[in-house]
Structure 1
Amino acid sequence: MNRFMSLELFITLLLLIFTTAISAQDTSYEDGKRYILGGLEVTGLQSYNEQTVKTYTGLRIGQPITVPGDEISAVINKLWGLELFTDISFYITNIEGENVFLELNIIERPTLSNVTVYGVKKRKVDEILKDTDLKKGKKITESLIANSKNYIQNKYKKKGYLNAKVTIATTKDTTDANTQAMVINVKQGDKVKINDIVFEGNEQLSDKQLSKALKKTKQRKFYRFWKKSKYIQEDYKNDLVSLVDKYAEKGFRDARIISDTFVKVSDDLIDLKIKVEEGNKYYFGDIDFVGNTVYSDRQLAQMLGIKKGDTYNGVLLRKRIADDTKPDAEDLTNMYQNFGYLFSSINPVEISAENDTINFEIRIIEGKETFLDHVTVIGNDKTNDHVIFRELRTRPGQRYNKSDIIRSIRELGQLGFFDAEQIKPDIQNPDPNAGTVDIAYNLVEAGSSQIELQGGYGGGGFIGTLGLSFSNFSMKNLFKGEAYKPVPMGDGQTFALRLQASRTYRVYSLNFSEPWLGGKKPVRFNMSLSRTQQFYYNPYVSSKPDKSKQFSITGITAGLAKRVQWPDDYFTISHSLGYQLYNFQDYNLGLFNFGNGKSNSIAYTLGISRDATGGGRIYPRSGSNFAITAKFTPPFSLFNNIDYKQLNEDQEVAIEELDSDEIERIDQERFRWLEFYKVNFKGDWYTTLVDKLVLRTNAEFGFLGSYNEDVGKVPFERFYVGGDGMGSYTLDGRDVISLRGYENQSLTPYSTDPLSGGQVQDGGVVYNKYSLELRYPLTLKPSASIYGQVFLEAGNAFNNFQDFNPFELKRSAGVGLRIFMPAFGLLGIDFGYGFDQDYNPNSSGPSGWQTHFIIGQQF
């Protein structure tokens, strides 16, 4: 009986549920009842304010509302859109007549408290968290977890880790309400490399040709260093496009890839199979120009450089129309844009294909001639506007010229005041109807002042150096206190002060340069003062130098340099006039054959240089620069009535008799006024090979000559080759030439002292040098530019021109690193191996490994 009653009750409940379900299915929003909202209560909140949620729903007490109805549905959808809650429900809590009271129950999503990442190096964790935006307080959603997982996996797959696996788990954090901690576990696995690349269907092009077309997708080879064999899907897709382009270059316009698959060989090896359909080979037919009025068909055809009958080359055709890889390319688009037609468009169209010949129309819409309306600069916080505008080749009202913009970028980069990598011209407000456009140059200031503070041991003791160089100085604000930040800056002038001292010598130098003398033309004015004192020091006699015995050089130089327009406006002609006074006070160390007296030098220097490098002053990537300088003194021997031939005969007698006083008198008379001429050449060429890999080629030559053989060569202005190339403390006009892999100045030949018969090193009168450098930047940021280099060098110095042999060279090779920081200038280290023996009498065999430290050296 009890069992029967239980069964009856169960059937009754089923019928009740079934009837309720049918009733619910028949109910629609049209069946909802109209009420007045009497009250709204929000429950389930943990971190949000109840009033804030009520306000966001838009529901107001006293408003008419249909339950169920559109208002309730809209509120639910609106709250779901926030992605802040996991459940949203409305309940009727009470009905009083026409008033309805509702409860909005919300379950909040948990908040992220912290993230722990396993399987990743510590320095990479912050990068992952930043890219995925996984930060404390973030609401945890399914999409957040899925997107983070996909991003991390794809990040590693792009680097060649195709088997990378990422798992993300969350767990309740009891330290705070409704928070969860996240754990990310990364298993990157091994890099997947390409074991073999198999081509199918290729008959016209060999496997080797197609393999070369895949620039970044290479199969594994034991000798491959520069291009790795890892498989990266994005690079592979781009290489497939390059492969089709390779066919297009050879005339196979219809070539296509039918299929590409990869076969798993092992967990870290795959094979790629690429099947191609080559199609027929085509040739160019007639090429007609349509719509051109500015240039004739002949001019355009000459620039296009494609003739009827040439093998069809779709890649070449695109580049001759518009080469996107080079901003200054010689193509039809730049041809128009360099003549003011910014809004021109050029499109090649195939009009017919007859057998294997394709006829083209080059359809040109020239547009309206364009002029510059406004030219502005942005980002120059320190440098005054006029310093920038005088370097720009673009002026308001001028015809638009793309090559002028490119040249302006180069000139701004050469100033050294801005980060050359971030100089970006922004074309603004183009108006095809009016034919006007604005240009804004976006600049990022780079440090333009340097401080040199260093100490070391050499020259008989401790050497201290203090150098200050301000390359964006402002002389006119020198007496304005508010301009010192920390020094007056902004006018592009150079002011440098350098002090160097040890117990055996003192060096003082001051230099000022104004690049635009008068402010209207690029005429550089330069003025320099220098003073050096060297004291006699014999460590075997005394621990202190004898300052009563000294040798000093006092000099002043003034010069002008002007940028000229012929042969082109990369050329500069410079003139300078300098005077030096050499003063000896009981100082006998072999510089001259006299220890007391004075010698004078007045020299005029003519320089011709051409600087057409591109890519910035610190890391040039293209172009070249060379400089030829010729330094002359007056030929005093022509008019001073001194019989130098007789002096030589008298000196030979004095040497035989070992009469040092007579030898000193003769040399003092011979070199009272120095006479010589000196010629230097230096050239650098920069070529970008791949990406940012740059080849620098260098050649140098120098020669010191005399007008009168009886006077002989002066003991100053000589060439000293070998080592790091940093000038020593002896300011005697010498040129110190670097040749890494050898000790400093060790490639300068020795000569015989006529008095003592010993070997002395008094400098060469002719030298030559050649260099090859491969450079690659690690970073080119304004705060620090760093690049590595591999070099080959060869050079030599000779005591006279008769012995000069440009192929008799001392060779070296090595590696180095350069770091340029605006505040300290250039720092570097080189490890060079000298393959030949130097001129040191005590050396034997190759020079071997040498380490060189570079401070403030040229780039």
Structure 2
Amino acid sequence: MNLGSFVRDTRTRSRTSFVRAAVKGISFSFLLSTAWVAPAAPIFAQQFQFNTVRVEGNQRIGDSAVLSQAGIARGQAVSAGQLNDAFQRLNNSGLFESVSIEPQGSTLTITVVELPTINRISFEGNRRIKDDALEAVIGSTSRRVFNPTQAEKDAAAIAQAYSNDGRLSARVQPKVIRRNQNRVDLVFEIFEGDNIEVERLSFVGNRIYSDRRLRRVLGTKQAGLFRRLVRRDTFVEDRVEFDKQLLRDFYLSRGYVDMRVNSVNAELTEERDGFFVGFNIQEGQQFQFGQVSVTSELPNVDGDAYAQIVRVKPGVIYSPTLVEADIARLERQAIRDGVDFMRVEPRVTRNERTLTLDVEFVLSRGPRVFVERIDIEGNTTTLDRVIRRQFDSVEGDPFNPREIRQAAERIRALGYFETAEVNAREGSTPEQVVVDVDVEETPTGSLNFGGSFSSSDGFGVAVSFAEENFLGRGQKLFLNVSTASDARRYGLRFVEPSLLGRDVSLGIEFDYSEENSSFSTYDSNRFTFRPSLTFPVSENGRLQLRYTAQAVEVTERDPVENGAIIQNDIDAGELFDSSIGYEYTYDTRRTGLDPNAGVLFRFSQDFGGIGGDQEYVRTVARVAGEKKFLNEELTLRASLEGGALAWRGGTNRAVDRFLLSSSQMRGFEPGGIGPRDTGSENGDSLGGNLYLVGRLEAQFPLGLPEEYGIRGGVFYDVGNLWDLSDVNIGGSTVSGESGSFRHVIGVSIFWDTPLGPLQFNISDALRKEEFDREQKFEVTLQTEF
């Protein structure tokens, strides 16, 4: 039965029942006919008094519950209006399909037909959204009373779920199928319709940044080549609202403090299968920091001393994020100095003529409020301590609203929760607050099956398991198995991000790899065990301390006849390497003053000989920078990387020395440059103890539609690999031991496909050695599905 017919039938029967009661109980026609003849006199409403109230037709609901809902008691005098009110209360209770009230002398008969119970809920016609997901959005449940109003609300909720998925034309029709014993099956018939895609994203009012650049900011994307795989090209109204905030944040971080999104227009195409979405924006002027000062309103707090902590300087592009970062630095320093309840208020003065914003950080005393307790709810798997350690404050500490907001951001950034709300409310006294944390957990484990292809290792498959919140302790566990035609790798990695409650990350890694690359004439097996500790040493700097144990064996590949040097490596058998080391990383790409520039510096050293077969000092350093120009359309990158290996004892093998891969030096095969045994038939690559590589590259749009995800690039690489100190060359003929710098230029095509990033490199060596092995074309693809 159609739900509308069911409701209309119910309402008709209810109205008829009450009209019948009114006709039997009240002679309205007599009263009206005598009103015009009789002289004026007081008119009294007819009163009823029932000695007996009888309830009929109820099966599940008791008599007392019906009388309580009606509000009528035995022996109580009631008027016709009160009878009507009782009828309306019963009819609107949501418990009965029909209600009849019939006064018969001193007896009142209430006859009800109970609404049926729901036997089963089913969905028909749904393919895009599964039954489990639809059951989560409806309020009706099996074995409960059927409510037509709730069924209508459920149909609307299902339609909204499809709308959020980009199917605005979806229709949902609830129907009931009557069963015996006053039961019904509730069926939602669903017509899903097609996705309504975003055919075009356009902007009006943008002068500084192009439409192409702004499209990359938005979460919504234009329909492109892979529209069946990319779901972000569907039109979702809530996502468009979020896009407005993304645009606002993008401009604010670049100094456009007056930027506004005036309106967003979404128009259906003539075929009604797509939307044209247009953002009407006002960019305004770009502002820079003007004078930056610190003023103290607190006794015994020197504002000039705190001014040394502020990092923003005059002339830097204004960003609210930089202001917030400096406020956090000042408040942290106050805690270290023992200054409680200090608040930092940024007072901004606008200078229209110079387009600068003067910022005065005012140090003042905040209210004396303490954290009474932190209440956490909603975490069924994640332990409380994992959430608590995101707070710098504990019970009894001074309350700092900014610190609580930052803790909320850290909780959301964990990725363990679908939603995370952090709010503060007054505690048991006005001087105390209670911090409420309400979270909703989301799955944190994933099992991925994927594929890969590279010119170095060939085609391969990969299986990986990742759990970001292992046993609810916030620990990370990774298992991976990858098999390519020329390489196989099996790995296990465990990370404890907060060792003993400190900002210290403990990592334990096991790795086993087998390589039989077509670019070498031998195979190698390598087992690695590496525990490490990583912790911050500055705002942008982190230090890692590690121990590495490796067992490496070089094996012969029949029926190849190897050169003397490689044969010596094979004859050495399996060697055990034990080393301790450190790595310092300085990275400003996320926390730097300029959102369009970043610097990365990495320096590491490993000291071998801690009980192993080899003694050495391995040093590797890398510095890289990135800068965006032409309103962020052009990206320039530069890097310089080098390494030195000083041997102090043990066997010095090719697999232990540096070998440059195509990811380090483009234009050549893996091991394609550097010292080579040119006296052997196969010309084995021997690696080297020293290397230096410089890379310059530019990435830019090609003028193609942004939704294609295709960009171009050019690059220039220069590098060298040399030195075979402490190597027993014997009678072999070695070329390139002293080395020369090779120069390579090339072009790149970057294609962001739904299956993964695809990169094509076409290169040409301007300068090389005659024994080098070039690789003029390279393509790589890494994906998981």
TM-score in terms of structure 2 length:
0.55
Alpha-carbon displacement from aligned partner over 1:798-848 (angstroms, at most 9, x marks no partner): 441654648547887667999xxxxxxxxx988654535899999886445
Matching residue's letter, 1:759: G
**Distance verdict in 2 for CA 1:579–1:197, change over 3 Å:** closer
- Aligned equivalent of 1:571: 542
CA distance in 1, matches of 2:211, 2:479: 60
1:29, 1:70 within 8 Å by CA — same for their partners in 2?
Answer: no
Question: Is 1:800 aligned with 2:722?
Answer: yes
Query: How big is each residue's C-alpha offset from its partner over 1:241-262, in whole Å with a ceiling of 9 and x where there is no partner?
Result: 9999999x98989x997x9988
Q: 2:109 aligns with which of 103, 111, 115?
A: 103
Deviation at 1:628, TM superposition (A): 1.8
| CA apart distance, 1:607 | 1.9
Whether the 8 Å contact between 2:266 and 2:277 is mirrored in structure 1 is yes
C-alpha contact (below 8 Å) 2:50/2:108 kept by paired residues: no
1:92 has 2:103 as partner: yes
The yes-or-no answer on 1:266 pairing with 2:270 is: yes
Aligned match for 2:60, one of 48, 62, 68: 48
Aligned to 2:643: 703
Q: Which runs of 5+ in 2 are unaligned?
A: 1-26, 450-461, 483-487, 516-522, 557-561, 591-596, 629-634, 700-708, 724-737
| Root mean square deviation of aligned Cα | 8.0
Per-residue deviation, 1:531: 12
Which SS does the other structure have where 2:99 is aligned?
Answer: strand
Q: Cα 1:208–1:167, aligned 2, differ >3 Å: closer, same or farther? A: same
Task: Quote the residue 1:123 is aligned against.
Answer: 129
Do the aligned partners of 1:678 and 1:702 also contact (CA within 8 Å) in 2? no
Q: CA deviation at 1:373?
A: 4.5
Judged with a 3 Å threshold, the aligned counterparts in structure 2 of structure 1 residues 428 and 612 are, in CA distance, closer, same or farther, namely farther
Distance in 1 (alpha carbons) for counterparts of 2:535 and 2:412: 17
Map Cα deviations across residues 655-701 of structure 1 (whole Å, 9 max, x no partner).
xxxxxxxxxxxxxxxxx98665421235799999xxxxxx9999683
* 2:137 counterpart SS class: helix
Q: Write the distance in 2 (CA, Å) between the matches of 1:623 and 1:372.
A: 38
Residues 236 and 66 of structure 1: is their aligned pair in 2 closer, same or farther, counting only changes over 3 Å?
Answer: same
State the 1:590 CA deviation: 3.8
Post-superposition shift, 1:762?
A: 2.5
Q: Counterpart amino acid of 1:191? A: I
Partner of 2:88: 77
Q: Which has the higher contact order (CA 8 A, sep 6+)?
A: 2
In the other structure, the counterpart of 1:679 is 619
Q: Could you say if the C-alpha distance between residues 179 and 847 of structure 1 is closer, same or farther in structure 2, counting changes exceeding 3 Å? A: same
When normalised by structure 1's length, the TM-score is: 0.52
CA distance in 2, matches of 1:605, 1:282: 49
3-state SS, counterpart of residue 76 of structure 2: strand
Q: Does the Cα contact within 8 Å between 2:489 and 2:513 map onto a contact in 1?
A: yes
Q: 1:31 aligns with which of 45, 48, 53?
A: 45
Hey, what's the Cα distance between the residues in 2 that align with 1:172 and 1:738? 68
After the TM superposition, which residues 131-170 of structure 1 pair with which residues of structure 2 at under 5 Å, given as runs?
131-133=137-139, 135-136=141-142, 143-144=149-150, 147-148=153-154, 150-151=156-157, 164=169, 166=171, 168=173, 170=175
Q: How is 1:687-836 mapped onto 2 (pairs within 5 angstroms)?
A: 701-706=641-646, 715=654, 717-722=656-661, 745=670, 747=672, 751-752=676-677, 756=680, 758-764=682-688, 765-766=690-691, 768=693, 798-800=720-722, 803=739, 805=741, 808=744, 833=760, 835-836=762-763
Amino acid at match of 2:63: Q
Query: Which residue matches 2:604?
Result: 629
The equivalent of 1:647 in structure 2 is: none
Identity %: 10
1:796, distance to aligned residue in structure 2 (A): 8.7
Q: Which amino acid aligns with 1:751?
A: R
Question: Any unmatched runs of 5+ in structure 1?
Answer: 1-15, 321-325, 453-464, 474-484, 501-505, 535-549, 616-621, 635-671, 689-694, 724-736, 775-787, 819-827
Q: 2:762 is matched by which residue type in structure 1? A: F
Distance, in Å, in 2 between the alignment partners of 1:607 and 1:156 is 52
> In structure 1, how many angstroms separate the alpha carbons of the residues matched to 2:50 and 2:776?
103
Give the 3 Å change call, closer, same or farther, for CA 165–439 of structure 1 in structure 2.
closer
Distance 1:273 1:850 in 2: 36
* 1:80 Cα deviation from its structure 2 partner: 2.7
Change (3 A) 1:21 1:118: farther
Matched to 1:90, the amino acid is I
Between the two proteins, the alignment pairs up a number of residues equal to 672
- Structure showing greater Rg: 1
Instruction: List aligned pairs for 1:331-480, cutoff 5 A.
Output: 367-374=366-373, 393-400=392-399, 419=415, 426=422, 428-430=424-426, 433-434=430-431, 438=435
SS at 1:31 equivalent: coil
- Taking structure 1 as reference, are residues 370 and 198 closer, same or farther at Cα in structure 2, changes over 3 Å only? closer
**Aligned-pair distance for 1:368?**
0.9
> How far apart are 1:513 and its partner, in Å?
10
- Take 1:18 and 1:364, find their aligned partners in 2: how far apart are those partners? 83
1:720 counterpart letter in structure 2: L
Alpha-carbon distance in 1 for matches of 2:90, 2:361: 58
Distance 1:53 1:365, change over 3 A: farther
- Contact 2:167–2:193 at 8 Å: present in 1 too? yes
1:102 Cα offset (Å): 1.3
Query: Separation in 2 of the partners of 1:172 and 1:470?
Result: 45
Give the SS at the match of 1:835.
Answer: strand
Partner AA of 1:835 in structure 2: I
Deviations 1:137-156 (A, max 9, x none): 67666644654555555556
Cα 1:829–1:530 shift into 2, 3 Å: closer
Distance 1:625 1:390, change over 3 A: farther
Matched-pair contact (CA < 8 Å) for 2:120–2:186: yes
Cα 1:175/1:601, change in 2 over 3 Å: closer
* 2:584 alignment counterpart: 609
Contact 1:753 1:760 in 2 (8 A): yes
1:492 and 1:840, CA in 2 relative to 1: closer, same or farther beyond 3 A? farther
